[in-house]
Amino acid sequence: MPKDWTVTQAYFWASKILSSNDIPAPYAEAEYLLAHALKCDKKDIILNHDRVLINNEVGLFKELIDRRLKREPSQQIIGEEEFWGLPFKVTKDVLIPRPETQLLVKEALKEAKNLSPEVKIVDLCTGSGCIAVSMAVELPESKVYAIDISDKALAVAGENAKKHGVDKRITFLEGNLLNPMKPLGLNGKIDLFLSNPPYVSKKMMEELQPEIELYEPMLAVSGGEDGFDYYRQIIPEAAAYLKPGGYLILEIGYGQRDGTISLIEQEKVYKGIEVKKDFAEIDRVVKAQRT
């Protein structure tokens, strides 16, 4: 490594080494991690391209690149990911919020417009809390119940709620699926029942990118043999908590549209099933109204 590295040299060194190790989007990743090491914005990399790095900046940047070469996701290296325009803390205990999950938030907000401002929301399998916190931020009179089986995930979600000033309106519940809702007496009282549950099938689990396989919590990813384990439990159980006219809104994985629709139809208590596609034209969100 040369002495007296400039910002540009550091950037090109990293892009090259990431690229030759088959890391996807090497230039964007180099820029993202360099900005983090230099504690600046991406635009400052351009503005200060000929600045010479100081010693500990070189060491730190090299450490970040080493971690990325071992396939650790950048969001975990940095400890943050943006979702719905808000920064969310992420650790190895939570699924990194995905951009397509914002479609679920968008659909939920669309329905919330026609509901009372004091809307009651469930976010089952909250993980980082990205869905629960975004909803609470957007709907200042809402009350959210955010559930997860992992206490470590709930701790991260709680921090995210605090960071965005909505912790007083989110009740965090630890337990398996809807079990922790049972004592709360909320049957028939929920307006929006949201969930992005683990949905990757056993076959697809064998083809995960190393970033996911090595670093993301499998508990948040694996949906059993055919990927439908959680939908099979959530779809009937959610019906009991939804208010008549309330909505069940679920994220689904590639190819899960028909299976999810048939589970919803089987229940005979939902109507108006709609499916929304994400930017990659993949069916991503399924919505149904409680009769």
Closest distance between ligand GLN and the C-beta of residue 22, in Å?
Answer: 26
By C-beta, is 53 or 94 nearer to ligand GLN? 94
> What's the farthest any 2 CA atoms get from each other in the chain?
70
Closest distance between ligand GLN and the C-beta of residue 197, in Å?
Answer: 6
By C-beta, is 58 or 156 nearer to ligand GLN? 156
By C-beta, is 85 or 244 nearer to ligand GLN? 85
Closest distance between ligand GLN and the C-beta of residue 58, in Å?
Answer: 34
Helix (H) or strand (E) holding 105: helix 102-112
167: tokens are 């912790």
CA separation for the pair 214, 68 (Å, rounded): 12
Closest distance between ligand GLN and the C-beta of residue 69, in Å?
Answer: 26
Closest distance between ligand GLN and the C-beta of residue 34, in Å?
Answer: 27
With beta carbons less than 8 A apart as the criterion, state whether 153 and 128 touch: yes
Closest distance between ligand GLN and the C-beta of residue 271, in Å?
Answer: 26
Sorted by sequence, the CB contacts under 8 Å of residue 143 that are 6+ apart come out as 118, 119, 120, 121, 169, 171
By C-beta, is 116 or 209 nearer to ligand GLN? 209
With beta carbons less than 8 A apart as the criterion, state whether 180 and 147 touch: yes
CA separation for the pair 290, 246 (Å, rounded): 5
39: tokens are 């504690």
In the complex, which residues of this chain contact ligand GLN (CB under 6 A)?
Answer: 95, 97, 101, 125-128, 130-131, 196-198, 220
By C-beta, is 61 or 172 nearer to ligand GLN? 172
By C-beta, is 154 or 242 nearer to ligand GLN? 154
Q: Residue 269's closest CA among 251, 233, 243, 231?
A: 243
By C-beta, is 61 or 88 nearer to ligand GLN? 88
Closest distance between ligand GLN and the C-beta of residue 122, in Å?
Answer: 12
Both ends of the chain: CA-CA distance in Å?
66
Sorted by sequence, the CB contacts under 8 Å of residue 196 that are 6+ apart come out as 101, 104, 125, 127, 131, 250, 251
CA separation for the pair 210, 255 (Å, rounded): 22
**Which residue's CB comes closest to ligand GLN?**
127
